[in-house]
Amino acid sequence: MSIDFNKYDRAINPDWEPDALVSLYMLTENEGGRNKPVFSGYRPQYKVLPNYQTSTCHFFLNEDDYYFPGRAEKAFIKFITPDAYPHCFKRNIEIDVCEGSRIVGRATILEIYNELLLDSGDERTNPNPLV
């Protein structure tokens, strides 16, 4: 399957706006993680605060639109409830990726597009990521 990058083009799909770009590393089964690939549309929880997890939606940027655990892959993410944890992200922070209470990966924030999420000490990295 090849990825349809048109769905990420705001000229074609103006309602789609990512919150951030991450480098996602999914743990292998031997590391306590998954044994199956994850696909675009994958919706794990991110532990964004010590006492708060939120759901996200991933859109992978590789040609296959999926990837197997054990390597890092870039993905756009959309948070479900960003208004519940404003101003808590900076570039290069690591966030636990969970399925229920189990940690299955780690995401490193590369770019932040949603200003509500941007920590006041960090600068917005790319105001128009899809152009």
Domains of the chain: 5-112 (2.40.30.10)
Question: How far is residue 78's CA from residue 56's CA, in Å, rounded to a whole number?
Answer: 5
Please enumerate in sequence order all residues whose Cβ is within 8 A of that of 99, keeping only pairs 6 or more positions apart, or say none.
34, 44, 45
* C-alpha torsion angle, residues 29, 107, 77, 38 (rounded to 10): -10
pLDDT score recorded for residue 126: 46
CA distance 80 to 95: 16
Instruction: Please give the Cα distance from 115 to 63 (Å, whole number).
Output: 29
Range of lowest pLDDT (36-45, 64-73, 120-129): 120-129
Handedness of CA 130, 74, 34, 96 (dihedral sign): negative
Which token pair is 54?
């939120």
pLDDT in tens, 49-87: 888 899 998 888 877 778 899 989 999 999 988 888 899
- Is a pLDDT exceeding 90 seen at residue 29? yes
pLDDT at 121 over 80: no
Q: What is the largest CA-CA distance in the chain?
A: 43
What is the value of pTM for the model shown? 0.80
